[in-house]
Amino acid sequence: MHSFQTYFLYFFFLFLYAKHCIAVLFITSPVLNTVCVGGKPCPVSWTDNQADNAPSINTYGPTTIGLFTGTQTQQSEIYRLAIVDPGKLDKTMVNIPANVAPDGNEYFIRLDPIKPPGGNVSLYQAFSARFTLSGMTRSAPAGTAGSRLATTGGTNPNSNVSLTSNSTATKSATTLPTSTALPSPTSSASSAQQSSSVSGKYEEMKSGIAKCKAGIILIYLLFAWFSS
């Protein structure tokens, strides 16, 4: 029969290790070969990494979906597409206005909880793979504002985003227009480097989660061995 002290030490060390395994949303769409057409519905979906002893995605609360470009360390939000609750939904259809950016393959989706657990947004951010935008009408010379809408009054044409919940119900997302500067178009070599950078961050998150799970299993096996 195991002593109270043995169980206490096991759960104490498990807690110290597991608290560093943060719940991360994996964006499952768009992917590398996705082509979204300006002004038409484009799917965005995500899933829980299901890390052991990690906070539930139910703790995320309202989370912004943004269209981004940039590198791993310097990212610019081109357009804020919607606000969703990842704990209640696992996918949505967004409409990227054709006039907010030029055609290109350097774009990605980023999810940011508005009030993340513990207040650290960067630990809970999720990134999609790079994907392509086509049918876009904006040219973007250096120094221009990329996300100011050309429509009268600057209203967001994506005012009713269809959301599909886990219970297959359809709801409306909250959408917010933004006005941020769009960086100049990059060369194909630079775009490939940026794509590799963001993809590397995604792979790094997956690797970290795998290590967290392996560590927790190792702690359990050591406990079982010492207590046998």
pTM of the model: 0.58
Nearest to 106 by CA among 201, 195, 197, 200: 195
Residues 70-80: tens digit of each pLDDT: 988 889 999 99
Q: Is the residue at 3 inside a domain?
A: no
Answer whether residue 4 is part of any domain. no
Q: How many domains does the chain have?
A: 1
Which carries the bigger pLDDT value, residue 218 or residue 13? 218
Within a domain: residue 159? yes
The reply to whether 179 falls in a domain is yes
- Write out the E strands in 71-103: 75-84, 89-95
Average pLDDT over residues 166-183: 37
Closest listed residue to residue 164, CA positions, set 89, 109, 94? 89
pLDDT level of residue 163 (50, 70, 90 thresholds): very low
> pLDDT class for 48, splitting at 50, 70, 90?
confident
Report strand pairing: 35-37 vs 41-48.
Answer: unpaired
The answer to the question of residue 56 being in a domain is yes
Res. 63: pLDDT tops 50: yes
Residue 71 lies in a domain: yes
Which structural domain, as residue segments, surrounds residue 186?
Answer: 11-226
Q: Return the pLDDT at 123.
A: 78
Q: Within a domain: residue 184?
A: yes
Q: Is residue 36 part of a domain?
A: yes
pLDDT category at 3 given cuts 50, 70, 90 is low
